[in-house]
Chain A
Amino acid sequence: MKSAAFDLYQPADVPGALQLLGNPDQSVKVLGGGQSLGPMLNLRLAQPEVLVNVARLPELLNAKVEGDSLIMGAGVTHARIEDGLVPDVTRGLMPFVASNIAYRAIRNRGTIGGSLAHADPAADWVNTMMLLGAVMEITSAKSAGNGTLVKREVPAHVFMQGPFTTVLADHEILTAIRIPVLSASARWGYYKFCRKTGEFAEAIGGVLTDPERGIHRLLIGATDGVPLVIHDAQALMKPGDSAAITRVLQDAGMAQDPYAFKMHHTALCRAIAMRHQQA
């Protein structure tokens, strides 16, 4: 239960961190808050030669509203979101989700960017960012030639490719998340089943409606792979329509395992009821 040996580097800024990446002769992992990677290292499920700690890079710690988005630095901790220490543009959805991630001691250290880069299908931010239609801002070590860093933007549903798999290349860091500002009429519901409070979810149901922006989304989360988002889900927002949710799960191929079906069905119904109560 002790990690294999590695060298830990503590760069001062993003360019410094990027310089340490992309060496094909070394296995390198980027370390955020370490609340997922730490256990994986201790269990020796991950055995990198080099860790590059980005959790304290000043560029990753800010969150500010720019136009119709909130630019959230990847190093913002769950606790800062929970405590309202960064702006909320999601009408309470993100602080609510943050306050139910694992345990406070984990939330004090764990970061939103680290969680997204880790890409556990049952992780709350993985599912919430997909429900919100967030965009990942990725910075690359490959210089544009004049010393400026190369950035690219990838929507959440493309960013995650599968369980624990993202589009991030070896020479890239997830530096920020662009979260759309919800309209005043937006409503949401989010419900997760955990065996024990704070454990990873067995099933997550999410709904988001923002009629001014034409959004009526339903999310089936904590699945075996990338969370499933159903767009144009207006007809599914009525509470108590159990048969409609059954059909959604059947269409998604999630009706075979009766246990998983029941969990996802109930999570979705409760998320829909929660949204309805906000109306």
Chain B
Amino acid sequence: MNKTSIQLNINGREVASEVQGRTHLADYLREDQLLTGTNLGCEHGVCGACTIEMDGAPARSCITFAAACDGMKVRTIEGFALDEVMLALRDAFSAEHALQCGYCTPGMLITARDIVLRLPDADEALIRKELSGNLCRCTGYSGIVHAISSVLAVRRAARGGV
């Protein structure tokens, strides 16, 4: 089988690779780039553990083939280390007990950040709907929802809302 040459920007770094067609982006990130913060759960797009950002929007890296991503900007959980919103979310996840085993957490955080930035007025019902594509088997979700709500509340207050 042929290999495909790809160039990606991963967490701000330009990377060139040769990949097999069948290699999905999550395996490529974990095994070729050693970015093991991206976790694999179901490997068919249901559980959300492998959620990363592609060209600025959340996507499932387990059902995206690396060979189909030439020229794209990829941001994994490692790439958010100094991100202001992610810092607030990490603190809130810790304060609200929004994780136990932590396996879903990288995907949860990337989805949570998308909610905070895309839906600044989200209430609890909308947060729960938007979180429905990320499964957590430890927390029962309450802590995660509270964490996201608290970050949204702080940001709403900062922009002069209620």
* Contacting residues, chain A, for B48 (C-beta < 8 A): 103, 105
Contact B132 A3 (CB under 8 A): no
Contact A105 B1 (CB under 8 A): no
Taking the complex as formed, is A182 at the interface, i.e. its CB lies under 8 A from any CB of chain B? no
The interface-forming segment of A18-26, A31-39, A170-178, A234-242 is: A31-39
Contact B27 A2 (CB under 8 A): yes
Taking the complex as formed, is A213 at the interface, i.e. its CB lies under 8 A from any CB of chain B? no
Chain A to chain B contacts (Cβ below 8 Å), 16 pairs? A3-B22, A10-B4, A10-B67, A38-B45, A38-B64, A38-B65, A43-B44, A103-B130, A103-B133, A104-B114, A105-B59, A106-B45, A108-B54, A109-B59, A109-B60, A197-B132
Contact A34 B65 (CB under 8 A): yes
Bound-complex Cα distance A39 to B63 (A): 6
Contact B60 A105 (CB under 8 A): yes
Taking the complex as formed, is A55 at the interface, i.e. its CB lies under 8 A from any CB of chain B? yes
Contact A104 B133 (CB under 8 A): yes
* Contacting residues, chain B, for A55 (C-beta < 8 A): 68
Bound-complex Cα distance A105 to B62 (A): 12
Taking the complex as formed, is A62 at the interface, i.e. its CB lies under 8 A from any CB of chain B? no
Taking the complex as formed, is A224 at the interface, i.e. its CB lies under 8 A from any CB of chain B? no
Task: Please name 17 further chain A to chain B contacts, defined as beta carbons within 8 Å, in addition to the given A105-B48, A108-B57, sorted by A numbering.
Answer: A1-B44, A10-B67, A10-B70, A31-B65, A31-B68, A35-B63, A38-B45, A38-B62, A39-B63, A103-B48, A103-B130, A104-B58, A104-B111, A108-B58, A109-B54, A197-B129, A198-B133
> Chain B: which residue is nearest A4 at the CB level?
B22
Contact B62 A42 (CB under 8 A): yes
> Chain A: which residue is nearest B134 at the CB level?
A103
Bound-complex Cα distance A61 to B20 (A): 26
A42-B63 contact, Cβ under 8 Å, with A105-B111, A197-B132 = yes
* Contacting residues, chain A, for B59 (C-beta < 8 A): 105, 108-109
Contact A6 B21 (CB under 8 A): yes
- Residues 19-48 of B at the A interface (beta carbon under 8 Å): 20-22, 24, 27, 42-46, 48
Contact A103 B132 (CB under 8 A): yes
Name which of B1, B46, B62, B65 has the most chain A CB atoms within 10 A of its CB. B65
Bound-complex Cα distance A105 to B21 (A): 22
Chain A residues touching B, majority SS: loop
A8-B4 contact, Cβ under 8 Å, with A38-B65, A104-B111, A108-B59 = yes
Query: Would you give the shortest CB distance from B102 to chain A, in whole angstroms?
Result: 19
A106-B21 contact, Cβ under 8 Å, with A1-B44, A6-B1, A34-B65 = no
Taking the complex as formed, is A53 at the interface, i.e. its CB lies under 8 A from any CB of chain B? yes
Bound-complex Cα distance A34 to B59 (A): 11
CB < 8 Å: which of B64, B70, B128, B133 contacts A102?
A: B133
Bound-complex Cα distance A55 to B68 (A): 9
Bound-complex Cα distance A248 to B111 (A): 42
Taking the complex as formed, is B76 at the interface, i.e. its CB lies under 8 A from any CB of chain A? no
* Contacting residues, chain A, for B64 (C-beta < 8 A): 34, 38, 109
Contact A51 B60 (CB under 8 A): no
Query: Would you give the shortest CB distance from B76 to chain A, in whole angstroms?
Result: 14
Query: Would you give the shortest CB distance from A201 to chain B, in whole angstroms?
Result: 14
Name which of B2, B22, B24, B62 has the most chain A CB atoms within 10 A of its CB. B22
Taking the complex as formed, is A7 at the interface, i.e. its CB lies under 8 A from any CB of chain B? yes
> Chain B: which residue is nearest A109 at the CB level?
B59
> Which 5 pairs between the two chains have the least Cβ-Cβ distance?
A103-B133, A38-B63, A8-B21, A39-B44, A197-B132
Query: Would you give the shortest CB distance from A269 to chain B, in whole angstroms?
Result: 23
A7-B60 contact, Cβ under 8 Å, with A34-B68, A39-B45 = no
Bound-complex Cα distance A85 to B1 (A): 38
Taking the complex as formed, is A243 at the interface, i.e. its CB lies under 8 A from any CB of chain B? no
* Contacting residues, chain B, for A42 (C-beta < 8 A): 24, 43-44, 62-63
Taking the complex as formed, is A136 at the interface, i.e. its CB lies under 8 A from any CB of chain B? no
A5-B58 contact, Cβ under 8 Å, with A104-B133, A197-B129 = no
A34-B44 contact, Cβ under 8 Å, with A3-B24, A104-B130 = no
